[in-house]
Chain A
């Protein structure tokens, strides 16, 4: 068979992703802003697919946001990560799955640095022992939670109640995918599809009936930039980069955006609101924004979960235009009911 172009490049970056027996660690940002996505992830793998995903209350932040805001040194973040690995080892697991791109990128970077500088790994093992009396094995397999959903995409499709299709026209919905820089820009071979043609979200969208939009700034950063958002005075950086992406995708009239990262959906969602407030400009149809989702939220919609159970009332950019296009049933009055 002659596989050409992008397909060939993608095929070089396919990972062998284990399906079962994972040690699960959460994302700080997602727990704050998209908490129900993590709830749904565990519900799908544990309850619908009867897989083993273990979580301990003793895991903490990986320190990634602080590390990339330069408020903690490299050896600190490495020792915190080593502690997470120790918790995995103590629980008897070998596959490690992170619900966060910043974490996933950081774990990948740390394992690579230790590989190049084994003396640093020994030093970190000493630090960990001295401070916590813990020891660790390195994970045999490191996954991002979206890798697992990618792996399970066809099983999810087989249980689907809805497809990513416009109910009126029968056409596939046009979907913008945003990967998140730290997923594979540093270590392309660690992400499904590499850095040029990441396939992790594309694979889900294709399996669930939608169509991916290719647009010029598809790989541009969402604009988080750590200190460039976290310090109020710097937020012009953040919104300018998000603005650039929206201007670039707008001519392609996307119906929705699916994201991979903890921060990206927050910025793509919230900065649309701010651009509307500042300039009166909107990027969706009828003066609305383009709804932004996490991959778990999209999986949840496809599986027929209630949007408010999926936490979509926590979005600022309304999701209803997309729900209506697909024909998903929901109760408007219940949206903000507590």
Chain B
């Protein structure tokens, strides 16, 4: 048994997600990602159960493991109680830990996600926070979204939020002592390390492309190849 499989098997999600796959394809039939991308969760499950190290390495380097939307629709349907969505989560974690994510376009997007989401958590205590959710990068927010952004305090006041206020309530300011606890949790449980790993590989790649950090972030956030799609 090779090394990558062993590392996958250390992940509780992998152990919960992989039983014997009978290659029935039910997961693929129900999968929203498989309709949009050239993606087949059945093949992912079958590949990892083969324990073929080379094939697993190809998965970790490739785009396909990043196509899943983690909706877990496959979990309900699999007749053998596999969870392709959980297997994907284990593969993604290993791809980031090993630095192999940097080989694929969809993997490289993790940098943009990590910067946006993790900084929201560490700075504000929210995954999504209205002062960093911008109409410019979310045009589908629509004219109403633009109006909300331009009148953020007034709109939230009108509908009863406690935006950046003290005490409990909607969008309250999360006290500094609580943010400190989140930071300590990040440091102790591997989130900070993951951020540093992704940052290191991404900055290296940006340099190789002759881009600044901001240019690179913008590039991976907005650019994709059509060949991913069906």
Contact = CB atoms under 8 A, between A and B. Distances in A.
Given A32-B171, A65-B128, A270-B140, A72 B159 contact: no
Given A32-B171, A72-B191, A221 B137 contact: no
A123 to B, nearest CB: 9
A273 B155 CA distance: 21
A60 B126 contact: yes
Interface stretch (B20-28, B32-40, B51-59): B32-40
A223 B126 contact: no
Interface residues of B, number: 88
B175 A58 contact: yes
Contact of B109 (A130, A219, A233, A316): A233
B93 interface: yes
Contacts of B160: 35-36, 39, 311
A132 B177 CA distance: 10
B126 A31 contact: yes
B32 A116 contact: no
Interface of B: 11-13, 16, 32-33, 35-37, 66, 68-73, 75-76, 83, 89, 92-93, 96, 106, 109-110, 112-114, 116-118, 120-121, 125-130, 133, 137-138, 140-145, 147-148, 151, 154-156, 158-161, 166-172, 174-175, 178-179, 181-182, 184-191, 194-195, 220-224, 229
6 contacts: A71-B195, A72-B117, A113-B16, A127-B188, A220-B73, A228-B33
Given A68-B70, A274-B142, 18 more contacts: A35-B161, A36-B160, A39-B160, A57-B166, A60-B182, A72-B117, A79-B185, A127-B188, A130-B188, A131-B187, A185-B76, A225-B70, A226-B70, A237-B32, A240-B35, A240-B36, A273-B142, A338-B155
Interface of A: 26, 28-29, 31-32, 35-36, 38-39, 55-58, 60-61, 63-66, 68-76, 78-80, 83, 105, 113, 116-117, 120, 127-128, 130-132, 181-182, 185-186, 188, 195-196, 219-221, 223-228, 230-237, 239-241, 244, 270-271, 273-274, 308-309, 311, 313-316, 336, 338
